[in-house]
């Protein structure tokens, strides 16, 4: 397959390889283009027929987030499992369980530690292990773990709650690590595709959150058996992970995908000091293929993506600072009326479902509008402006309040509007910042940059989640 010169010199001004020095530069570049183009004509870029690749990446985005969301959504199932109760309905002793008091904290620690370690490992493996191997193996690990958790639904664990707790934490760590490798690998891979494919992956992730929020509402409305609802969550995750494996294998067969997934072979001309005395400007020996280092250079990536990295970190810091720690504790001012909509369904609707739908809408808008650009000062300005949402949400009807007793916004419409703005701005600005990153570096660094952008995202979530604990204690 002939490689077009526009691919060889992709972002050539930012290339990590040494430039040619001396008066032979123009002659050598002309020779390089002639040698590269002469064997065969430049391959025409194929079209994404029926938007097949776009839909597959959208589905893979769902698959990367849905298992984790279902794992967390099955809260009543975990209360039942750790309540030392054999009844399919959670008993009152669940509230006093030592395990339950620390379950979410240990869950966050297990997922965060494994995510960070796997992100570092994935960056080191970018040039060592093919993306196909990393994607398929991570999907297989997630599927295997969820099959184990599905089987455990029907196992009576009341006699060994601490052992089941240890097993759950191990499964959570494996799922989180595998999901991190999967998401960062697929995102890094889409960096070589047109921008709409990266956007599809991001929108799919938001759809995964939306589906889990809808499932939680349905479960809350119709489910009477905790075991059956847990089984439904895990079986759905099993089916969708199996579907993702099939869709990824289908992606590898698409001509459109094969074109953009072809190996990148950095080519450069030997610097003058490395040329031999008998070489001439027309000597083919002046042209060599540069070997990619086993570990991608980190400093050039960090330098080029510093501004976008700040945007990603601060965006997710603000989001995770108030969602769900603050937003999920904002109660309806009409709660005393006793209506199911103001008591049972208010938080799931106004916090979780509304946020995820707004986040999905914000990410989908980036398919048609990409403003501001990657170098615009407006992008970090809009990111900083979201800080205003923190005090606005705090002064809604957050309960219980210990230090800040004043509620400024005495209407249920305020948390609805503010949560919508939080999700919409998060989806739009984070998607722009993430998909811009791999596009401003040389193509040979695009996949590694995608992994680095995933690390920025993880760092923002960790910082926000840690500081949300402090914020809650101050309210």
More confident residue, 47 or 11: 47
* Model pLDDT, residue 282: 44
Same domain, 246 and 394: no
Q: Give me the percent of the chain exceeding a pLDDT of 90.
A: 42
Per-residue pLDDT reduced to its tens digit, 288-297: 444 556 788 8
Q: pLDDT band for position 93 (50/70/90)?
A: very low
* Same domain, residue pair 314 and 457: yes
Residue 109 sits in the same domain as residue 165: yes
Residue 267's H or E segment, with its range, is strand 267-269
Q: Residue 104's closest CA among 182, 154, 168? A: 168
Q: What is the pLDDT of residue 284?
A: 44
- Asked if residue 268 and residue 303 are part of one domain, the reply reads no
Instruction: Examine the domain organization and report whether 370 and 323 are in the same domain.
Output: yes
| 465 pLDDT above the threshold of 50 | yes
Angle at CA of residue 303, ends 301 and 309, nearest 5°:
80
* Of the candidate ranges 187-196, 222-231, 397-406, the one whose mean pLDDT is the lowest: 222-231
Q: Which pLDDT tens digit goes with each residue over 367-410? A: 999 999 999 999 999 999 999 999 999 999 998 888 888 889 98
CB 329 within 8 A of CB 182: no
- The predicted-structure confidence for 315-325, as pLDDT tens digits, reads as follows 999 999 998 88
DSSP label at 353?
I
Cβ atoms of residues 405 and 383 within 8 Å: no
Express each pLDDT in 327-347 by its tens digit. 988 999 888 777 888 888 888
Tell me the three-class secondary structure of 404-417, residue by residue. Answer: CCCCCCCCCHHHHH
Q: How confident is the model at residue 108 (pLDDT cuts 50, 70, 90)?
A: confident
Say how far apart CA 4 and CA 24 lie, in whole Å: 22
List the Cα angle 14/195/308 in 5-degree steps: 55
Q: Is the pLDDT of residue 248 over 50?
A: yes
- CB-based burial label for 298 (10 Å; 0-12, 13-18, 19+): exposed
**For position 96, what pLDDT does the model report?**
38
Angle between helices 52-73 and 195-222 (to 10 degrees): 40
Residue 414 to residues 210, 356, 358, Cα–Cα distance (Å): 21, 17, 15
pLDDT score of 264: 60
- For residues 34 and 133, membership in a common domain is answered with no
Residues 244 and 313 placed together within one structural domain of the fold:
no
Q: Domain tally for the chain?
A: 3
154-164 average pLDDT score: 86
Instruction: Provide the CATH number for the domain around residue 178.
Output: 1.20.1250.20
Mean pLDDT of 436-448: 88
Q: How far apart are CA 456 and CA 351, in angstroms?
A: 25
The confidence band for 30, taking pLDDT boundaries of 50, 70 and 90, is low
Structural domain range at position 124 = 45-262
Q: What integer pLDDT is reported at residue 97 of this predicted model?
A: 52
Q: Is residue 441 located within the same domain as residue 365?
A: yes
Most confident range (mean pLDDT) of 67-71, 80-84, 99-103 is: 67-71
Last residue of a domain, one of 271, 289, 307: 289
Residues 313 and 407 in one domain: yes
Q: Which residue has the tokens 């993506």?
A: 305
pLDDT at 348: 87
23 and 103 assigned to the same domain:
no
Q: Which residue has the higher pLDDT, 263 or 112?
A: 112
Peptide bond connecting 372 to the previous residue in cis, omega within 30 degrees of 0: yes
The pLDDT of 245-249, averaged and rounded, is: 96
To the nearest whole number, what is the mean pLDDT of the chain?
Answer: 81
The answer to whether 327 touches 395, Cβ cutoff 8 Å, is: no
CATH number at residue 448: 1.20.1250
> What per-residue confidence (pLDDT) applies to 201?
94
| Residue after which a domain boundary falls, among 262, 278, 304 | 262
Highest mean pLDDT among 78-92, 317-331, 424-438: 424-438
386 and 248 within one domain? no
Same domain for 285 and 355?
no
* The predicted structure's pLDDT at residue 228: 85
User: Region 76-104: what's the mean pLDDT?
Assistant: 60
The pLDDT-based confidence of 27 (bands split at 50, 70, 90) is low
């Amino acid at each position: 397959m002939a490689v077009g010169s526009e691919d060889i010199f992709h972002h050539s001004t930012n290339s990590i390889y040494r430039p040619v020095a001396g008066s032979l530069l123009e002659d050598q570049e002309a020779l390089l283009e002639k040698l590269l183009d002469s064997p065969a004509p430049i391959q025409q870029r194929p079209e994404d027929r029926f938007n097949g690749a776009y839909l597959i990446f959208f589905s893979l985005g769902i698959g990367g987030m849905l298992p984790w969301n279902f794992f967390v959504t099955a809260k009543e199932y975990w209360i039942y499992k750790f309540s030392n109760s054999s009844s399919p309905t959670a008993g009152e002793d669940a509230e006093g369980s030592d395990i339950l008091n620390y379950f979410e904290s240990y869950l966050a620690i297990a997922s965060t530690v494994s995510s960070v370690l796997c992100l570092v490992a994935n960056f080191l493996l970018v040039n060592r292990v093919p993306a196909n191997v990393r994607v398929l193996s991570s999907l297989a690990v997630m599927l295997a773990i969820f099959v184990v958790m599905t089987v455990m639904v029907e196992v009576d664990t009341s006699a060994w709650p601490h052992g089941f707790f240890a097993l759950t934490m191990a499964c959570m760590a494996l799922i989180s690590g595998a999901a991190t490798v999967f998401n960062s690998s697929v995102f890094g891979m889409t960096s070589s595709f047109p921008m709409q494919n990266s956007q599809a992956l991001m929108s799919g992730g938001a759809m995964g959150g939306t589906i889990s929020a809808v499932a939680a509402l349905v479960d809350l409305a119709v489910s009477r058996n905790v075991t059956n609802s847990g089984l439904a969550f895990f079986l759905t995750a099993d089916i969708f992970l199996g579907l993702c494996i099939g869709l990824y294998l289908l992606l590898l067969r698409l001509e459109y995908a094969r074109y953009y997934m072809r190996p990148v072979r950095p080519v450069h001309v030997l610097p003058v000091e490395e040329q031999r005395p008998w070489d001439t400007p027309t000597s083919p020996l002046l042209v060599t293929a540069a070997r990619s280092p086993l570990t991608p250079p980190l400093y050039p990536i960090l330098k080029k993506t510093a501004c976008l990295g700040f945007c990603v970190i601060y965006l997710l810091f603000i989001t995770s600072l108030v969602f769900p720690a603050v937003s999920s504790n904002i109660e309806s001012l009409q709660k005393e009326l006793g209506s199911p909509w103001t008591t049972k369904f208010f938080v799931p609707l106004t916090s979780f479902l509304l946020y995820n739908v707004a986040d999905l809408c914000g990410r989908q808008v980036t398919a048609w509008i990409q403003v501001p650009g990657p170098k615009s000062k407006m992008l970090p300005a809009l990111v900083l402006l979201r800080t205003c949402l923190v005090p606005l949400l705090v002064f809604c009807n957050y309960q219980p309040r210990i230090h800040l007793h004043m509620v400024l916004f005495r209407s249920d419409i305020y948390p609805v509007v503010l949560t919508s703005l939080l999700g919409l701005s998060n989806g739009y600005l984070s998607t722009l910042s993430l998909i811009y990153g791999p596009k401003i570096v040389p193509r040979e660094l695009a996949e590694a940059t995608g992994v680095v952008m995933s690390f920025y995202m993880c760092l923002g979530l960790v910082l926000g989640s840690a500081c949300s604990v402090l914020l809650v204690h101050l309210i």
